[in-house]
Amino acid sequence: MGVFASTEDPGTTGHEQVVFCQDKQSGLKAIIGIYSTALGPALGGTRFYPYASEEEALADVLDLSRGMAYKNALAGLDLGGGKAVIWGDPEQIKSEPLLRAYGRFVESLAGRYYTACDVGTYVADMDVIARETRYVTGRSVEHGGAGDSSILTAWGVFQGMRAAAEHVWGAPTLSGRRVGVAGLGKVGKYLTAHLLEDGAEVVATDVNPKALEWVRATHPQVELVDDTAALVASDIDVYAPCALGGALNDDTVPVLRAKVVAGAANNQLAHPGIEKVLADRGILYAPDYVVNAGGVIQVADEIEGFNFERAKLRATRIYNTTREILRLADDEGVPPAVAADRLAERRMAEVGRLRTIHLR
């Protein structure tokens, strides 16, 4: 395993293991971050991205692997948290030898880390990686994989939103509420369908004209607005960020008219402290990593041999988990994001501790 220099110090971040992998001939430079295996093997996708520097790649993998530990813990999975990054432009350097070299490094961890898709990697890449390692999920349907994870991601977001609606308005339904969906991509489209079926009014926006054409053709009742700024300032009850991270920031939060935020996008809180601003404005934020766990629940199910109904049942439980977090937040007088972290840490500590009971 090659090791390349870094100025970061994972020793201070609480990660169990950080592995630098290099294969000069194929051009592979990867970092695998394992934050915790307290609940089981670490699961998290591989991000293939042209980072500006190795420091940036390392910072991302440390951050993302920690996030996966919390997400997997709250999703009720017997899986820890990890993530990997491949440093480089996938358009330029992705190749069979590079992916297979990466697969061999994953295999060398002997099951401490399971990989899956993330930004820049796709099911077809997982099939290539799987030629070198057993520890890969998110594979194609022909290889026993679960296929498109956005189906259960959207279902889980809808469940989390129902729990938030119940907390604020007393009934677990979006019926009669006006929901603003920012981003009509893979998840946003399915979410829109669930919302309409539940009797919600949907107002939406997207930067991609094809997404707008899709919604005009399939759901003409959806109202379209020019951009996210117009959406957040409009008269909505619920805001569902389903595009990129950082949706809840110093521009959007002060003008947001919704009472509830629940959406699929990862890392919605632009900076620490913004969750407090939301709470002070009386806006209930259902933590992103809790409500968008349907996708990881789906790929995790593949490890057992994929069963859609079982995975859907698990994703449906996002309703219960969100409810529990919102109650805990009220009881402890903290924002839901803090309550979610506490609950995840509790499960990692309490269930992880059981491994100290000696079996043989």
Known catalytic residues are 83
156 binds ligand NAD (CB under 6 A): no
110 binds ligand NAD (CB under 6 A): no
Residue of 192, 205, 234, 322 that binds ligand NAD (CB under 6 A):
205
307 vs 30: CA distance, rounded Å = 32
160 binds ligand NAD (CB under 6 A): no
101 binds ligand NAD (CB under 6 A): no
Residue of 93, 193, 229, 244 that binds ligand NAD (CB under 6 A):
244
What is the total residue count of the chain?
360
| Structure tokens, 83 | 């993530």
- The residue (of 175 and 208) whose beta carbon lies closer to ligand NAD is 208
338 vs 269: CA distance, rounded Å = 12
The secondary element (H helix, E strand) that includes residue 182 is strand 178-182
The per-residue DSSP string of 128-167 comes to HHTTT-S-B-S--GGGT----THHHHHHHHHHHHHHHHHH
286 binds ligand NAD (CB under 6 A): no
Q: Which range of residues in 4-12, 59-67, 179-187, 272-280 is near ligand NAD by CB under 6 A?
A: 179-187
182 binds ligand NAD (CB under 6 A): yes
Residue of 46, 153, 252, 322 that binds ligand NAD (CB under 6 A):
153
Q: Which range of residues in 91-99, 147-155, 253-261, 271-279 is near ligand NAD by CB under 6 A?
A: 147-155
Residue of 187, 215, 240, 315 that binds ligand NAD (CB under 6 A):
187
* 217-236: contacts with ligand NAD (CB under 6 A): 228
- The residue (of 50 and 246) whose beta carbon lies closer to ligand NAD is 246
- Check if the beta carbon of residue 67 is closer than 8 Å to that of residue 36: no
CB of 340 to ligand NAD, least distance (A): 15
Phi and psi, residue 10, nearest 5°: -60, -20
Q: Residue 234 CA to chain centroid, in angstroms?
A: 27
Alpha helical stretches, state H, 249-293: 274-280, 288-291
Residue of 16, 60, 201, 206 that binds ligand NAD (CB under 6 A):
206
Instruction: State the residue for tokens 């279902």.
Output: 155
CB of 150 to ligand NAD, least distance (A): 4
47 vs 55: CA distance, rounded Å = 15
CB of 151 to ligand NAD, least distance (A): 8
CB of 211 to ligand NAD, least distance (A): 4
The secondary element (H helix, E strand) that includes residue 38 is none
| Closest by CA position to 225, among listed 182, 178, 186, 161 | 182
Buried b (16+ CB within 10 A) or exposed e, 125-136: bbbbbbebbebb
Q: Which range of residues in 10-18, 52-60, 98-106, 203-211 is near ligand NAD by CB under 6 A?
A: 203-211
Q: Which long-range contacts (CB under 8 A, 24 or more apart) does 254-259 make?
A: 254/281, 256/232, 256/281, 256/283, 257/232, 257/233, 258/180, 258/232, 258/283, 259/168, 259/283, 259/284
Q: Which range of residues in 9-17, 124-132, 177-185, 315-323 is near ligand NAD by CB under 6 A?
A: 177-185
Number of residues that bind ligand NAD (CB under 6 A): 24
299 binds ligand NAD (CB under 6 A): no
CB of 205 to ligand NAD, least distance (A): 5
| Chain residues in the site for ligand NAD (CB under 6 A) | 149-150, 153, 182-188, 205-208, 211, 228, 242-244, 264-266, 292, 295
